[in-house]
Chain A
Amino acid sequence: MSDPATTRPLKHMGDLDYSVVQQCMHCGMCLPSCPTYLETRQERNSPRGRIALMRAIADGDLEVTREFGEEMYYCLGCLACTTACPAGVDYPQLFEHARAEIEHQGVLFTPGRRFWRWLTLRQIFAKPWMLHAIGRMLWFYQASGLCALVRKSGLLRLLPEYLRNLEPSTPAVRRHFSAALIAELESPKFRKYRVGMLTGCVQDLTFSEVNRDTVEVLLANGCEVITPRDQGCCGSLHAHNGDLDQAVVQAKRIMGQFDLDSLDAIITNAAGCGSHLKHFSNLLKHDPDYADKAVIWDGKVRDISEWLVGIGFRKPEGDSISQKVTYHEACHLCHGQGISRQPREVLRAIPGLDLVELENATHCCGSAGVYNITQPEQAAKLQKEKIACVQRTGATLVATANPGCHLQIQNGIGSMAEVKHPVSLLAEAYRSERSSVSVE
C-alpha cells in the first residue's frame, strides 16, 4: 500500500449496519447519474465504486487511507445516485459516515486543514453569535468600500491562490439578518396552521429577504409563523463534512428551539438544510432522550414548496411578473428530498411567468455545499455546464431553492439573468396583487 494508514478501530463506519453497505448490488445503474464518474469514467469515482471501497473497509480488506479520504471528498454528495438507484441504497448515510471516519482517522490531516475545520465547523458555524459577528464584519467590509480598496491594493495577493480565486464570489452579506426582518411571532388574519420557521445560517446572512418572503407567503396562506431567535446552523454543514459529533450537538440545539407539539410543520426554504433536517431520527437514534422526539421532528419538517402545495396554497391573481423563468433543481431538494413537482407548481401558479424547462435540470451546479471551495476545478466545470444550459433556455430569471446553488449560478451567469427563490417570486406576485388592489 502506497499510503501509510492509521489503524485505529473504526468508529463511524463501525456504527453503520453492514446491511446498508450490502444493499448495493453493484448493478451500475448509478454510473450515468454521477458527475464525477462521467468526468473520469473510472469506477472509484462512481457511487458503486465508493461503496465498494467502504465495503472493503468494513470487510477488513482495506484500511482508511488517504486515497480513500480524497475519493470521498471528490464525491460531490449531490445524491443523484440516490434517485437513480433502484435498490434503494442509503447513500447519504454511507457518505456521511465515511467522511466522519476519514476525519476520525485523520488521514487527510494537515495543520492548516485542521485549523480551518476547527474555525468553521467548531466555531463560526457552531455558535450563532460568532456567525453573526463574522457576518457583520463581512457586511462592513463589503458595504464600506473597504472591499474595493483591498482589491485595488493588491493585498489579496497575500492569500493562498484558491482563497484569492474565491474572494470575488464571496456572497454579499445583507445589512439586516432574518431576526431584524421577522418578528418572533407573526399572525395572519385567519389562522389555519401554526408553523415554525427555520432561518438557516448562510440563508440568514446572505438571503435574509428570502426568509422574509417565506414568512409573507406563509401568512398569506393562513399560517401563523413562529421564528425563534439565534437559530444558527442545523448541523447539515457538519454532517456533510465529516463532523457527525458536532452535527448531533447542532441538531439537539435546534430541536430545543421549537415547541414541536404546538406546531403543524417546521418550514425550511434551503434544500441543503431540509434534506438534513428530515433525517434527525437517524442521527439521534442512539440517544434515548432524543430518539423519539427526532422521529416526530422528521415528520414535521417541510420544504416551503412542499408545504404550500400540500395545503393547497392560494394562486395569486393579476399579471405581475411577465418574464421567462427556468427552474434549476437543487440536488438536495430533488435527490435528497424527492421534491421536483412542487416548486414548479409554485412557479406555474404565478400569472405572467413563463416557465421553460432547463435541460439537465437535476444535474449538480457544482456548488455542493463547500465543494466549490474544496474542489474548485470540478466545481467550475459543472458550473459552466449549468450556465450553458440556462443560456439555451433564453430565460432572464432562474429559480432555485438553495443558497449554494443560488450563489453558484448567479456568480456564473453574471448580469445575463437574475436568480431567485421560487418563494420570493410568489411573494412578489402576492405583493403586486395588493398594490394593484389599493390602486383600484
Chain B
Amino acid sequence: MKESLNVFSTDSPAYLRLSAIVGAENILSRPEDLIPYGFDGTAALKESAVCVVLPRTAEVVAGVIRFAAAEKIPVVTRGSGTGLSGGSVPVKGGIVLCLVHLNRILEVDPANLTMLCESGVITKAVDDAALPHGLFYPPDPGSMKISTIGGNVANNSGGLRGLKYGVTRDYVMGIEVVLPSGETAWLGSKCVKDVAGYSMKDLFIGSEGTLGVITKVLLKLVPRPKARRTLLASFDTMEAAARTVSKIIEKQIIPCTLEFLDRKTCASVEAYAKVGLPTEAAAVVLMETDGHASVVEEEAVAMADIARENGAISVEQAADEAHAIRLATARRSAFSALARIRPTTILEDVTVPRSRLVEIVSFVEEVAIRHRLDIATFGHFGDGNVHPTILTDETDHEEMERVHEALSEIVDKTIALGGTITGEHGVGLAKKAFLPRQFDEASYSLLKQVKRAIDPHGLLNPGKIFDLDGADS
C-alpha cells in the first residue's frame, strides 16, 4: 500500500475524513511525532507509520477501523508500547491506533469479584483499584507500572506470579472488541460458568492485535492474600538452584513466585536497584509465598529447608513488606538492567516443562561458549519460563550472525524438550520465523484460516505471528 504513504498531507481528503472521525488534535503525522511510535520494547525493530491516532472512546475506535477498512490502510493497535516481540511495531505506511486515552475504570463489582475497565488502563492501576475492596489482580508483567491491560490481554501476558495464579487469560471474563468490519462485539459475561457457543473471547486473548481491537475488559479479581513471605536463596551452581525449585514443587508447595537470576543478571540488577542482591553467587532464587498467615509461615520454613538441603549457600528473608516489594521490583527490571552491559539486548522467552529446566539452562550456557556470546539468563523457574538474554551490538554484523545461530539452536532445543518458543511475550515479528518449527502443518494452517475468517482483508496487524501467503496486505 505504498500510495497511502502520501495520503496524509493534512489537506488530503483521507486526512479530512479521518479527522472528522477522531478530531485533528488526536492525529499525529509529523515526523517528530511519528518517530517515537516506530518501535516497542523489542530490540532492533523499527518501522514508520503514516499516522498515529489517539481515540478517546470505543465508538471512535470503531470509526477509525471502518475508515481504515474503506481506505485499505493497515492498522496496528498499541497501548504503552512495552511489548517484547515487536507485536506493536507499526506496519509501513499503516495507522498506529494508540489506546492510552481509553483509561477509565468503569466498575468494580465486589459482589461478583469483577472489574470492568477500558483497555488503556495501566495494569498496576487495575490492582490499585482492586486494593480498597480487599481484592487482588494477580498478573504482574515486568512492565506493569506502564503496560496497558488491553496490551496484556492481546498478548496474554504472564509475570512473576504465574506459578500459583496463572496468566492474564485466567482473569479475563469478557471483552469488548471492535472487529475488522468495524462492528463491535461483546464476548463473555460475569458468569463463572458460561458455555454459550464457542469461547470466542479466548480466541482474541493472545491474538496480538491480529483479529480485533480490544476496547473493554471484564476482569476476574480474587481475595487479596493476607500474608506474604519473601526469601532469597543463593547457590554456587545453576543445577542446585534448579534442583531446589523442582523439589519445592515436588513437595507440592506452590508459592506465588519462584524467580531465578544468574550472576550476570544479579550484578546488573544490583547496579541499578541496590537492594542487596548477592552478586557473587552463580544463581539466586527469589521465592515468595502468599495466603493465610499460618500457611505462609509453614511454607516459608519448608522452602528455606529445601533450599539448604539442596546446597544453598545462604537463605535470607526479606526484612519487611517494603523490602519484599523492592526485591520483586528489582527482579522486574532485570531485562532492562541487562542493557547496561552491551548496546543491544536480545531477550528470549522459551519455556519448557518444568522437569526439563536444568537441560535448557545448561544448553544455553553451552551455546554461549560455542558461539562466543555473552548470554545472561533469568526467568520464572516455577513456570519453566526462562529468558536467556543475549548481550550484543546490533551494529556488529558478524556477531549478529552468531546471535541468530544461537537463537535458532536454543529454539530447536526447546522444541525438542517439548517446550514452546514463547511463554509470555508473544510471537509478533521477533519469533515469527520460528513458529513453523513448533507447529505441525495442520495447526499452522489453522491459524491462517482463523485470520482469514475474521480479517479477510488483512487489515489488523498484518505480518505479525505469521505471513498470510497471497493475502492482499
Known: A28-B80, A43-B81, A67-B30. A53 touches B35 (CB 8 A): yes
Cα–Cα, bound, A63→B32 (Å): 10
Contact indicator A31/B33 (Cβ below 8 Å): no
In the complex, per-residue mask of B251-273: 1 if CB is within 8 Å of any chain A CB, else 0: 00000000000000000010111
In the complex, per-residue mask of A14-44: 1 if CB is within 8 Å of any chain B CB, else 0: 0000010011011111011000000001111
In the complex, per-residue mask of B325-341: 1 if CB is within 8 Å of any chain A CB, else 0: 00000000101110110
Contact indicator B32/A67 (Cβ below 8 Å): yes
* Closest CB in chain A relative to B44 CB, distance in Å: 10
Contact indicator B333/A32 (Cβ below 8 Å): no
Q: Of the candidates A31, A52, A62, A86, which one forms a contact with B333 in the assembled complex, judged by CB atoms under 8 Å apart?
A: A86
Chain B hits for A25, CB < 8 A: 41, 43, 336, 339, 344-345
Q: Of the candidates A22, A67, A71, which one forms a contact with B343 in the assembled complex, judged by CB atoms under 8 Å apart?
A: A22
Chain B hits for A48, CB < 8 A: 36
Contact indicator A88/B36 (Cβ below 8 Å): no
Chain A hits for B385, CB < 8 A: none
Interface size on B, residues (CB 8 A): 37
Q: Judge whether B145 is part of the interface by a CB distance below 8 angstroms.
A: yes
Q: Judge whether B82 is part of the interface by a CB distance below 8 angstroms.
A: yes
Q: Of the candidates B32, B145, B271, which one forms a contact with A53 in the assembled complex, judged by CB atoms under 8 Å apart?
A: B32
Cα–Cα, bound, A52→B39 (Å): 9
Q: Judge whether B381 is part of the interface by a CB distance below 8 angstroms.
A: no
Known: A19-B343, A26-B41, A28-B143. A49 touches B336 (CB 8 A): no
Chain A hits for B292, CB < 8 A: none
Contact indicator A42/B32 (Cβ below 8 Å): no
Interface size on A, residues (CB 8 A): 33
Known: A23-B343, A29-B146. A44 touches B337 (CB 8 A): no
Q: Judge whether A365 is part of the interface by a CB distance below 8 angstroms.
A: no
Q: Judge whether A119 is part of the interface by a CB distance below 8 angstroms.
A: no
Known: A26-B41, A29-B145. A49 touches B80 (CB 8 A): no
Known: A27-B82, A28-B41, A28-B82. A44 touches B336 (CB 8 A): no
Contact indicator A52/B100 (Cβ below 8 Å): no
Contact indicator A32/B146 (Cβ below 8 Å): yes
Contact indicator A2/B340 (Cβ below 8 Å): no
Contact indicator A71/B28 (Cβ below 8 Å): no
Chain B hits for A67, CB < 8 A: 30, 32
Contact indicator B339/A53 (Cβ below 8 Å): no
Can you name the residue of chain B whose Cβ is closest to the Cβ of A63?
Answer: B31
Q: Judge whether B38 is part of the interface by a CB distance below 8 angstroms.
A: yes
Chain B hits for A50, CB < 8 A: 36
A43-76: which residues lie under 8 A (CB-CB) from chain B? 43-44, 46, 48-50, 52-53, 56, 61-62, 65, 67-68, 71
Contact indicator B146/A31 (Cβ below 8 Å): yes
Can you name the residue of chain B whose Cβ is closest to the Cβ of A48?
Answer: B36
* Closest CB in chain B relative to A137 CB, distance in Å: 41
Contact indicator A44/B33 (Cβ below 8 Å): yes
Contact indicator A88/B271 (Cβ below 8 Å): yes
Q: Judge whether A87 is part of the interface by a CB distance below 8 angstroms.
A: yes
Contact indicator B35/A86 (Cβ below 8 Å): no
A interface secondary structure, majority? loop
Contact indicator B339/A86 (Cβ below 8 Å): yes
Cα–Cα, bound, A435→B335 (Å): 57
Cα–Cα, bound, A88→B337 (Å): 7
Cα–Cα, bound, A88→B43 (Å): 16
* Closest CB in chain B relative to A99 CB, distance in Å: 16
Contact indicator A56/B35 (Cβ below 8 Å): yes
* Closest CB in chain A relative to B445 CB, distance in Å: 35
* Closest CB in chain A relative to B30 CB, distance in Å: 6
Contact indicator A43/B37 (Cβ below 8 Å): yes
Contact indicator A52/B38 (Cβ below 8 Å): yes
Q: Of the candidates A41, A44, A86, which one forms a contact with B36 in the assembled complex, judged by CB atoms under 8 Å apart?
A: A44
Q: Judge whether A1 is part of the interface by a CB distance below 8 angstroms.
A: yes
A231-273: which residues lie under 8 A (CB-CB) from chain B? none
Can you name the residue of chain A whose Cβ is closest to the Cβ of B83?
Answer: A28
Chain A hits for B147, CB < 8 A: 28
B26-79: which residues lie under 8 A (CB-CB) from chain A? 28, 30-33, 35-41, 43, 54
For the A-B complex with A50-B36, A71-B32, A85-B336 known, give 16 more contacts whose Cβ atoms are closer than 8 Å. A2-B30, A19-B343, A27-B82, A27-B339, A28-B40, A28-B41, A28-B81, A29-B145, A29-B336, A32-B122, A32-B146, A42-B33, A52-B35, A52-B39, A86-B272, A88-B340
* The 4 A-B residue pairs with the shortest CB-CB distance in the complex, in nearest-first order: A49-B36, A86-B336, A43-B36, A87-B339
Q: Which residues does A use to contact B, with CB under 8 Å?
A: 1-2, 19, 22-23, 25-29, 31-32, 41-44, 46, 48-50, 52-53, 56, 61-62, 65, 67-68, 71, 85-88
Can you pick out 19 interface pairs between chain A and chain B where the beta carbons lie within 8 Å of each other?
A: A1-B31, A2-B30, A22-B344, A23-B343, A25-B41, A25-B43, A26-B40, A27-B336, A29-B143, A32-B122, A41-B100, A42-B54, A44-B32, A44-B35, A50-B36, A52-B35, A71-B32, A86-B333, A86-B335
